[in-house]
Amino acid sequence: MADPDIDGIQRRMAGALDVLKQEFAGLRTGRASASLLEPITVDAYGGQMPLNQLAHINVPEPRLLTVQVWDKGAVKAVEKAILTSGLGLNPVVDGQLIRVPIPELNEERRQELTRVAGKYAEQARVAVRNVRRDGMDSLKRMEKDGEMSRDEHRAWADEIQQLTDEMVARIDETAAAKEEEILRV
């Protein structure tokens, strides 16, 4: 009898959590961090490119980021991408260097960022549930094809559900920690 790819399911679920952590790194908490600008994509050279492929991001002070753009022609595109990123940042262009001051977070902005964090967490939960659905579908196929019995199907389904529950709990913990970090004054 064939066994389902539980390791693959677990790896894909963990990937959803990793993506969530990367997105959370981009949510600012009042301190400058180079990871804040990493998720930004820039419309340059006829396509969307990650900001870190067009410039060097530096943190010279706790409340300031600098973006050293390598190509003079891409400076305006980088500035526009930072402005329209939804992070509430106002870049200042100085030649090929873009200074991005990190303003103090007011209460309204903190609430808005917690909503964004909640949206990211929900996307991760949906991704985990999609992996669960794929796993359950493969179990049904295997049972239908006679590769496993109904009892084996039930046992594997319970294991996949347990993996899903554990991953959703970890996503919830990560989201709660990020919300607390955002709301901390």
Note the pLDDT tens digit of each residue in 8-25. 999 999 999 998 988 887
Note the pLDDT tens digit of each residue in 41-91. 888 888 888 888 889 988 888 788 899 999 888 889 999 998 888 777 888
pTM for the whole structure: 0.69
Q: Which CATH class is domain 31-101?
A: alpha beta
- Per-residue pLDDT band at 127 (split at 50, 70, 90): very high
- Angle at CA 25, nearest 5°, toward 20 and 31? 155
Q: Which CATH class is domain 6-24+106-183?
A: mainly alpha
- Cβ within 8 Å of residue 146, ≥6 positions away: none
Q: What are phi and psi of 48, to 5 degrees?
A: -90, 125
- What's the token pair of residue 62? 């706790």
Domain ranges of the chain: 6-24+106-183, 31-101
